[in-house]
Amino acid sequence: MTARTDSGASTGTGSRELPRWLTRLPLHLTVLVLMAIWLIPTIGLFVNSFRDPNEVTVSGWWTAIFPPENFSLSNYEYVLGRNNIGEAFINSLFIAIPATVIPVFVAGFAGYAFAWMRFPGRNVIFLTVVGLLVVPLQTTFIPILRLYADLGWNGQFLAVWLAHTGYGLPFAIYLLRNFMSELPREVFESADIDGAGFATKFFRLAIPMTIPAIAALAIFQFLFTWNDLLVAFVYIGAVNPDNLPLTVVVANLVQSTGGGWQYLAAAAFLTMAVPLIVFLFLQRYFVRGLTGGAVKG
C-alpha cells in the first residue's frame, strides 16, 4: 500500500512538472529563433571572408560549407598587409580608452550627487541631463566644429575624447544615478554616524557597490567609441589623417568605384576582436548592472 502511494505521489509530481516545462518551451524556441536570425548574417559574412570574390558573386555562402571549398586567407593577408592598419588599431585604442574612462569617471561623481546629495535644483538639473538623450548628435557637429576650430583642436585626439564624453554622459549619469539611488540607505546612515564625509562614502561605499553598473556602462561606452565612424570622421577627418581610427581606415578599403568590397568582411572580423574580449571579461557584470539601473527612475 505504501509503495503504491509513493508511486502515485511521484507520478502526480511528474504530471505537475510537465506542464511547467511545456510552458517554457515556447520561450526557449523563440530565443533560439532570434539567435539564429541574429547569427546567420554574421556566419555568412565570416564564411565569405575566406572565399574568392568570384565565387561569392555566383553562389551563396552556404554552398561553401557542404562540401567545404578551398578557403583562402588572401583577404586577411591583404588587410593585415596595409601599412596604416596597425597604426589605425593603436589610434582606436588611444581614442576608445580615454573616451570610456572620462565619462564613466565624471558620471560616477554626478550619479552619486544626484542620488545622495541635497542641493537646490537637483531634480531639474537631472531631468535636463536626461532630456539630452533625445538630442541627435548630428545637430551638434557644426557648433562644436566651429568651437574646435577657434581653439585649434580639430584633428586632435582631445577633440574626439571630449565629444564622446559629451555624447555619453547623459546615459551614463542616468544609469549610475538610478543604480546608486537603490543602494541601502542604512549603510550611508551608519557612515554618517561614524563621521564619514562625502568623499569617504563615495569612494569606500558607493563605488564598490556600484561596480556592476560601472562595468555595464564601460562596455556600452567602449563599444560605442570603438565602433564609431561618424564622430571620428567629422572631428578628425582630413585635418589629420594620421589620427584616424580603425573604423575609418576599414571604410576606406572600399574604393569609390566599389572595388575592394571583399576585404571588408575580413577587416570587420579583425575589428570585432577587441570588443569581444572586453565583453567576455565583463559579461558577468553586464546583466546585473543593467537591471539594477533600470528599476527605479
pLDDT single digits (tens) 260-286: 677 888 888 888 888 888 877 777 766
Q: How many helices (H) and strands (E) does the chain have?
A: 14, 0
What is the per-residue pLDDT for 104? 95
pLDDT range class, residue 258, cuts 50, 70, 90: low
Query: Is pLDDT above 50 for 296?
Result: no
What average pLDDT does range 33-45 have in this prediction?
87
Percent of the chain with pLDDT over 90: 32
Q: What tens digit of pLDDT does each residue of 50-103 get?
A: 888 778 778 788 888 777 677 888 888 888 877 688 888 899 999 999 999 999
Euclidean distance between CA atoms 214 and 105, whole angstroms: 9
Q: Is 261 helix (H, G, I), strand (E, B) or coil?
A: coil
pLDDT of 297 higher than 70: no
pLDDT of residue 21: 66
Peptide bond before residue 53 is cis, with ω within 30 degrees of 0: no
pLDDT of residue 146: 93
Is the domain covering 74-293 a CATH 1.10.3720.10 domain?
Answer: yes
- Residues 150-157, mean pLDDT to the nearest whole number: 91
Question: What is the DSSP annotation of 5-46?
Answer: HHHHHHHHHHHHHHHHHHHHHHHHHHHHHHHHHHHHHHHHHH
Between CA 141 and CA 74 the distance in angstroms is 39
CB count, 10 Å around CB of 129? Answer: 19
Average pLDDT, integer, range 217-230? 91
Q: What pTM value is reported for the model?
A: 0.78
Q: What is the mean pLDDT of the chain?
A: 83
SS3 labels along 193-259: HCCCCHHHHHHHHHHHHCHHHHHHHHHHHHHHHHCCCHHHHHHCCCCCHHHCCHHHHHHCCCCCCCC
- For the chain, residues classed under CATH 1.10.3720.10 are 74-293
pLDDT confidence of residue 18: 57
- What is the residue whose three cell numbers read 530565443? 31
Residue pLDDT, tens place only, 168-195? 999 999 999 999 998 888 988 898 888 8
